[in-house]
Each structure stands twice: as C-alpha cells, then as structure tokens.
C-alpha cells in the first residue's frame, strides 16, 4: 500500500489564513502551509510516517478509498410514505425506482 493512494484535499482556511491539506482516510491529520503544494507535501510526509508507525506496531492501516472495490449497491432505509411517493414518481416517468433514485442521488 502506498501513502500517495489516499484521498487528499487542499483548501483555504480563513481561520488560519493558510492552506490546509486533509486526508479522508485519516480524519485527524492535517497540514497547514502558506502554499497549497507545500500543504499537500507536508501532509503526505506526515501520512507516510503514520503508516510506517502503524505497520511497525502491527496496527491496522486504513485502506485507501481509491483501492477499495465497490459493488454499486447499498441498502437505504426510508419511510414508507417516501418509498410510495418515489415509486409513484418513477412510474409516472416510466423508469424503474432504482433509476429514479440513482438520478436523484447523482444530481
């Protein structure tokens, strides 16, 4: 597993008045820098250290989201009245309930 396969993001932090890099798989880690590239490089170095420490201590290392396999299916529980309303809407549009909900999630 490589530390550069994780899901990194860099954004501006108005509170810190610097760019902040975050990584989805390690929610407690971040790195501040005046330059966005420096923020990303700093965080990647930190993540590499954390991964090395986890491996050395025999602790589990989070799997990068990019390397996970997704089935394209998930179960969603909704109130019966909403289920009925969606089924009616799908029928009125002449599409399956699955197609209707997939389109709504994508928008």
> Across-strand partners of 51?
none
Q: Do 33 and 57 belong to one domain? A: yes
Q: How many domains does the chain have?
A: 2
Q: Do 11 and 41 belong to one domain? A: yes
Q: Over the chain, what is the mean pLDDT? A: 95
Q: Do 59 and 100 belong to one domain? A: no
How do residues 4-46 score in pLDDT, each as one tens digit? 799 999 999 999 999 999 999 999 999 999 999 999 999 999 9
Q: Do 26 and 77 belong to one domain? A: no
CB 24 within 8 A of CB 43: no
C-alpha 88/C-alpha 94 separation (Å) is: 10
Domain of 35 in residue numbering reads as 3-66
Is-above-0.75 flag for pTM? no
DSSP class of residue 73? -
Q: Do 81 and 57 belong to one domain? A: no
């Amino acid at each position: 597993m490589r530390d550069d396969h994780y899901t990194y993001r860099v954004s501006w932090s108005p509170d810190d008045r610097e760019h902040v890099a975050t990584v989805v798989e390690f929610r407690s880690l971040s790195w501040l820098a005046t330059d966005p590239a420096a923020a990303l490089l700093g965080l990647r170095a930190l993540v590499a250290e954390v991964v090395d420490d986890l491996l050395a201590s025999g602790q589990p290392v989070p799997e990068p989201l990019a390397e996970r396999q997704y089935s394209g299916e998930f179960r969603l529980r909704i109130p019966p009245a909403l289920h009925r309303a969606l089924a009616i809407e799908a029928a009125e549009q002449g599409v399956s309930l699955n197609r209707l909900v997939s389109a709504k999630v994508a928008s």
